[in-house]
Amino acid sequence: MSARAHVAGLPALTTSFFRDQLQRIRGASAHTVRAYALALRLYLGFLADSRRRSVAMLGLGDLDAKGVAAFLTDLETARGNSVSTRNCRLAALRGFFEYLVRHDPTNSEQYHQVLALPMKRAPVRPAVYLEPEWMKSILEQPDQKTPQGVRDHALLLFLYNTGARIAEALSLREEDVTTVRPPTVRIRGKGARERLCPLWPETVAALRRLSESQPMIQGATFFRNARGARLSRDGAAYILQKYVNRARVSAPALAKIRVTPHVLRHSCAVALLQSGVDVTVIRDYLGHASIATTNRYLSTNMEMKRQVLEGFWRRSGLRSTKPDSRRPTADLIQFLQSLT
């Protein structure tokens, strides 16, 4: 394959990967598309710099395992990325190279070598979540006498009730909510998957107040900014942080936690676990593709572990009724105190 063909082939296959494979066939969300685009942009930029040429002069023959491995190392060393971020970038590149295997058989061998690059083992960090009383303090902060406060309270309550991802919540439309018994909401998740979630009466009331406080716009999303446009992710994060800062007066523990919209999703999952909901039900509730993702919350909740351990100890019958001979007597304690 000539150098000219290489240059022509890479842009064409990259474009078709995003337009046809990701968006049309897989139905990837805008967030997923952005993540793939960022990974590929960083990789091609690194490759061009290391080979001292412009990205426009790169060809399909330049995409090999050696270059990808060097890029992954650069992410951790030069850019200071975590192992998790490194693995996310590799996962995105794998998706692209899997597409190349099917559409460029000439270079399939070098693509397979890239696909053989392993993920790096990373420590699993416990999911950060809010205790119910902390969440209650946050929900008490918006001033529901104002249109903005009505919107903010409805958004925060909806996120906690449904465990929705922030992108899912911000794409919510009025027709997605059913207020007849039982009240439910249709959430459009990753990969064009849909799920139904039940709504608390309080959430239904909050959404109804929000609907009544803003003008009807055909096809508009539920949660909007001051200009009537769809609320952005940054806008939602700002709203949450504002009320977290206020809630720290009554809930000082919040000062030690970085609270993001995704933390409310974790908080919903842990609250469901604490209520005794089966983990497979929580998987469907949150829209997880794999039960392994949901199982992460089992290892997070120390309170549940403590309760299980105490129950096991009580049932074991191992608790001794005899006095512990190793326990210091009062006389011994007095003797030791006399030596100090």
Helix (H) or strand (E) holding 168: helix 166-170
Residue 305 structure tokens: 């572990």
Concerning whether 43 is annotated as a catalytic residue, the answer is: no
Q: Are strands 184-188 and 177-178 parallel, antiparallel or unpaired?
A: antiparallel
Evaluate the CA torsion angle 265, 271, 274, 275 in order and state its sign.
negative
Alpha-carbon span 257 to 266, nearest angstrom: 13
Q: Which residue spans within 104-222 are E strands per DSSP?
A: 177-178, 184-188, 194-198
Alpha-carbon span 213 to 215, nearest angstrom: 7
Q: Which of 103, 242, 262, 296 is catalytic?
A: 262
Q: How far is the CA of 182 from the CAs of 86, 94, 168, in angstroms?
A: 44, 43, 21
Cα–chain center distance at 183:
26
On whether the CB atoms of residues 167 and 192 are closer than 8 A, the answer is no
Concerning whether 227 is annotated as a catalytic residue, the answer is: no
Residues across the chain: 340
Selection from 99, 39, 102 nearest residue 71 by Cα: 39
Give 288's DSSP letter: -
Q: Which of 31, 190, 195, 296 is catalytic?
A: 190
Concerning whether 262 is annotated as a catalytic residue, the answer is: yes
Concerning whether 190 is annotated as a catalytic residue, the answer is: yes
Alpha-carbon span 126 to 296, nearest angstrom: 8
Concerning whether 288 is annotated as a catalytic residue, the answer is: yes
On whether the CB atoms of residues 232 and 31 are closer than 8 A, the answer is no
Q: Which of 86, 151, 153, 165 is catalytic?
A: 165
Q: Which of 265, 266, 283, 285 is catalytic?
A: 265
Strand partners, 188: 194
- Which residue numbers are catalytic? 165, 190, 262, 265, 288, 297
